[in-house]
Amino acid sequence: MKIPTKEECLRILKENNVPGNIIAHLNAVHDFSMKVADILEKRGIIVNRDLVSAGALLHDVKKLSPNDHVLEGYEYVKSLGYPEVAMVIKKHGLAHLDDEGFVPGTWEEKIVFYADKRVKGDKIVSVDERFEYIKQRYFQPTKDLNLSGLKSLQTATNSSDSCSLQYKKEDVENEIDFTKKIEKELLGDEKL
Ligand SMILES: [Fe+2]
């Protein structure tokens, strides 16, 4: 398995002109992911830490793409010759959870998915806090679909949190349930 080192990941981010605020987010997701890996290892679960590290650092490499940043990131990292890291990226989003191919399955995929949901910007928040923010961002514009509302919807569409204009309240509830199920699997009774 070929996995880029931390230095190589940072170089890839630089080559892609990833802005500082996104790099700060990626570093925070990386550090949080390592703490989740520690908890799993304490339970005797073997985690490929290098894969988690690279997946966490590169998961939003195409965040600013006007298209689906999850798929774009996946394709791009695969094209660099890192198919396993690409799979971690493919499974970090919320937008395609109804499609089996996008559902995190391995420990490494689950760690990066979960860590991304616990980091808002570069701050650690609870799952509930993170989704509260998502709800606010996504539901306000639908009340009054004026020009600024439309702009917010477009912003929402470009974010990792949603890729659909038909984003509904029950979708978010399902995403919260799904994320909390993963949280329980990863952390057990531990708190992070
Ligand atoms: Fe992220």
**Centroid of ligand 1 to alpha carbon of 5 (angstroms):** 19
Query: Ligand 1 mean position to 59 CA, how many Å?
Result: 6
CATH number at residue 171: 1.10.3210
Spacing, Cα 113 to ligand 1 middle (Å): 8
- 93 domain residue, yes or no: yes
Q: What is the DSSP string of 40-95?
A: HHHTT----HHHHHHHHHHTTTTTT-SS-HHHHHHHHHHHTT-HHHHHHHHTS-ST
Residue 23, in any domain of the structure: yes
* Ligand 1 center to 60 CA (angstroms): 6
Q: What's the gap in Å between 58 CA and the centre of ligand 1? A: 9
129, containing H or E segment: helix 127-143
Tell me whether residue 155 is in a domain: yes
Q: How far is the CA of 160 from the centre of ligand 1 (A)?
A: 7
Ligand 1 centre distance from Cα of residue 116 (Å): 5
Beta carbons within 8 Å of 29's beta carbon, 6+ residues apart:
56, 57, 59, 112, 115, 116, 119
CA–centroid distance, 48 to ligand 1, in Å, is 20
Which residue range is the domain that position 38 belongs to? 6-187
Task: Give a yes or no: residue 27 inside a domain.
Answer: yes
In a domain, 181, yes or no: yes
Is 146 a domain residue? yes
Let me know if residue 192 belongs to a domain.
no
Q: In this structure, is residue 1 part of a structural domain?
A: no
Please tell me the distance between residue 46's alpha carbon and the centre of ligand 1 in angstroms: 24
- Give, for all 192 residues of the chain, the pLDDT tens digit: 999 999 999 999 999 999 999 999 999 999 999 999 999 999 999 999 999 999 999 999 999 999 999 999 999 999 999 999 999 999 999 988 889 999 999 999 999 999 999 999 999 999 999 999 878 876 665 444 444 444 444 444 444 444 444 567 788 889 999 999 999 999 999 999
Structurally, how many domains does the chain consist of?
1
